[in-house]
Every structure is written in structure tokens, then in C-alpha cells.
Amino acid sequence: MTAPTGNLIALVDDEENLRETVGLALRRAGYRVEAFTDGLEAWHSFERGLPDLAVLDITMPRMDGLELCRRLRALSERLPILFLTSRDEELDRVLGLELGADDYLCKPFSMRELVARVKVLLRRAAWREAPAGQGEADERVLEAGRLRLDLRRYQAHWAGAPVALTVTEFTLLQALARHPGHVKSRAQLLQEAYPNDAYVSDRTIDSHVKRLRKKLAEADPRADSSSDPIETIYGLGYRWREEGG
């Protein structure tokens, strides 16, 4: 097999068999893979330079995936992060999303599904970094009140200030702002963000919305709680206020 030349994927998991299996699948897909046995070993490497995407197990010795995710987000909001979790680790998954993870897969999972999600996250990250093409800017910008989303580069501005979002946060914000005043159920938002995962719970969406609200509030410190643009409709879901905040 020819040596991979694609994006660099950091794989952090203390299970040797999983590292070997996932690493092989990613290399076959054309990615370069650097594997680490625990979070601390990975962190020492990340301090010297970041990969293009990180795949993290949650439960690991010395430094778990949650702490590693927190440290990575302090370095970069744009690095795509994918968690590998057990189905009974719902609380940890929610915490991971609140810390800024983009996506997660529940063990056991298929290698095809893993590679597909990696491709989506990297594609979104590439779109966000790419310069806007001439003549297409208007078609690729969504504006709702004080919100401005560059749909090609995955960049967000609120009240004129840039807001650093993970790709999943951006996707959910886009889904809400696309139709101001329309209620989006949690099930609909789950389908937008996790179309192929039957094990995602409503709490996942609540965690993302909580983080989105915090980031928008931090971007406009003059605003008060009454100007929250994401409105909770109890028993139904969420909607973007028609006046845009």
C-alpha cells in the first residue's frame, strides 16, 4: 500500500486493537495517522503542532479525552474533534459536546461510518478556511438580524464580532437561523447534525444550544439575557427569534 499523503489524523485511545483497526481504516482512506496511547502523550505532541483532526477516546489513563478536548479548544476552536464513546457514557458525551467536540461515535461502530464522518468534518473545515469564490458570496451568506454566516467558509459573526464555532455548532446555528420564527424540534436538529446516528439523545442538542448561547453572549457583552436570539419553546424545541436578537 502506498504511503498516505492526506490530512494528518491524531488517534488517541488506550486500546491497542482499536488503534490498529481504526488506524488501518484511516490509512486505507488516504489519511496520515499518528496514534497515541493516552491523552498526556498526545498533549505533549499537540503542544508542538496540531493535527488536521483529532479522534479521542473519552476514558483513558493519565489524561482523559474530556481534559484533552478542553486543552485543544483553548488552542484552537477550528480543529475538528471526534469522540469515541461507549453507549453508556451519555453524561461524558454531553460534557464533551459542551467542551466543544464536533461529533462522536458510539462503540462498536463501523469503520465505514468512522471514515465518512472524518471526511465530512475535514470537508467542512476546508470550506471554512478557503477564500470565498468570486461571484458567489451573496449566495453563500446567510443573514438573520445581527447574525451573519458565511456558509462556504463556516465563519460566523454576531453583532459585527467574529464568533468561533465548531462545525457542528455552525450547522445547528444555520438550521435555526435559516427560518427565523419557525420552531425546530430537537429531533429535527438531531437529524441536521447527526443524520446517521440512532444513539444521539435530546441532551446532545441542549448541550450545543447552551454553548451557542454562551458564545453569542460573549461576542456582544452589552446584550442582556432578554436579547438571547435562540428561544426555547418548551415541549417543542428551539427557534431563532424573528427580529434576530
Give the predicted TM-score (pTM) of the model: 0.64
What does the pLDDT read at residue 192?
A: 81
Q: Are residues 124 and 145 in the same domain?
A: no
Single out the residue in 85, 104, 129 at which a domain terminates: 129
Q: Are residues 102 and 15 in the same domain?
A: yes
**Digits of tens for pLDDT over the chain (245 positions)?**
567 778 999 999 999 999 999 999 999 999 999 999 999 999 999 999 999 999 999 889 899 999 999 999 989 888 999 998 876 666 777 777 778 888 888 888 889 888 988 988 888 777 655 554 444 444 588 998 899 998 877 788 998 898 888 777 888 899 999 888 999 999 898 888 776 555 566 777 888 898 899 889 888 877 665 678 999 999 899 999 876 44
Q: Which residues pair with 36 in a beta bridge?
A: 12
Task: Please tell me the distance from the alpha carbon of residue 11 to that of residue 51, in angstroms, as a whole number.
Answer: 10
Contact 22, 13 (CB under 8 A): yes
Q: Are residues 168 and 80 in the same domain?
A: no
Q: Are residues 142 and 114 in the same domain?
A: no
Q: How many domains does the chain have?
A: 2
What does the pLDDT read at residue 109?
A: 84
Please give the residue range of the domain that contains residue 171: 138-240
Single out the residue in 101, 129, 157 at which a domain terminates: 129
Q: Are residues 102 and 148 in the same domain?
A: no
Tell me the one-letter amino acid at 185: S
The answer as to whether 33 is a domain residue is yes
What does the pLDDT read at residue 130?
A: 57
The answer as to whether 24 is a domain residue is yes
Q: Are residues 112 and 164 in the same domain?
A: no
